[in-house]
Amino acid sequence: MRVVVVHYHEIALKAGNRGLFIGRLMGNLRRATGGCGVHGIRKQSGRVILKLRRDADWAGVRARVAEVFGVANFALAIRVTPRLPDLERAAREGLEGRIFASFRITAKRAFKEFPLTSQQVNEHLGTFVRTLTGAKVDLTRPELTVFVEVLPAEAYVYFEKIPGPGGLPVGVGGRVVALLSGGIDSPVAAYRVMKRGCAVTFVHFHSHPFL
């Protein structure tokens, strides 16, 4: 099943209000991706997961999520159960049609009861991918990185991390008014306060023909 795995960074540091911030981020993501085929949003072990329909518009989802403040990075992932055979199957599925001469596996094991360490997952899947494709392992400058995240109830395999704008979700910092004066300074200032979580009301004065 295809899902979008959304990572946040600064929100995780807000211990007292973390739940409020995550809830706001989820609401903003829900509104941003409306009409693109997202039919479920939930939080999962320090991540936000967007469930996609089979006919989802990934290009639209990608463009919209990339502009949501609070998102550090995100990825289109294959969701499977946290078992090695399923991780291999997801890797095989995701690698189909890709051409590359070198690769690396980057595994993150959030589920500490998983029988293998992160390094052992790297080695196991590295051997699997090398045998499957004939590509060589390059830990420094690989042409392709296979990302693996192992959680208690599920695991994700993906091949690209897409950067988000970072910051805090719009709405957690109250509402401010920004005067658009016609220069570049005012929209830049508005962008920066939005990145700090403020919802912005824009004001512009049109005084023609007096000025």
Q: What is the pLDDT of residues 71-127, one digit of tens each?
A: 999 999 999 999 999 999 999 999 999 999 999 999 999 888 899 999 999 999 999
- Choices 3.40.718.10, 3.30.2130.30, 3.30.470.20, 3.40.50.720: CATH for 2-163: 3.30.2130.30
Q: How far apart are CA 165 and CA 194, in angstroms?
A: 11
The per-residue pLDDT for 18 is: 87
43: Cα within 13 Å, side-chain hemisphere:
15
Can you give the residue ranges of every domain in the chain? 2-163, 173-211
Yes or no: say if 137 and 104 are a contact pair by the CB < 8 Å rule.
Answer: yes
What is the DSSP secondary structure assignment for residue 107, as one 8-state letter? E
Residue 33 has pLDDT above 70, yes or no: yes
User: What b/e readout covers 32-43, taking b as 16+ CB neighbours within 10 angstroms?
Assistant: bbeebbbeebee
Q: Please return the burial class of 130, using the count of CB atoms within 10 Å of its CB with bins 0-12, 13-18 and 19+.
A: middle
Average pLDDT of the chain to the nearest whole number: 93
How wide is the angle at C-alpha 6 spanned by C-alphas 3 and 202, nearest 5°?
A: 120
Please report which confidence band the pLDDT of residue 210 belongs to, taking 50, 70 and 90 as the band edges: low
pLDDT of 16 over the 70 cut: yes
What is residue 153's DSSP assignment?
A: S
Q: How many CA atoms within 13 Å lie on the side-chain side of 202?
A: 11
Q: Which of 128, 126, 125, 107 shows the shortest CA–CA distance to 117?
A: 107
131: helix, strand or coil: helix
| Phi, psi dihedral angles at 112 (to 5 degrees) | -70, -10
Q: Please say whether the beta carbons of 107 and 118 come within 8 A.
A: yes
CA 35 to chain centre: 19
How far, in Å, CA of 157 to CA of 91, rounded?
7
Let me know: does 1 contact 68? Beta carbons within 8 Å. Answer: no
pTM above 0.85, yes or no: yes
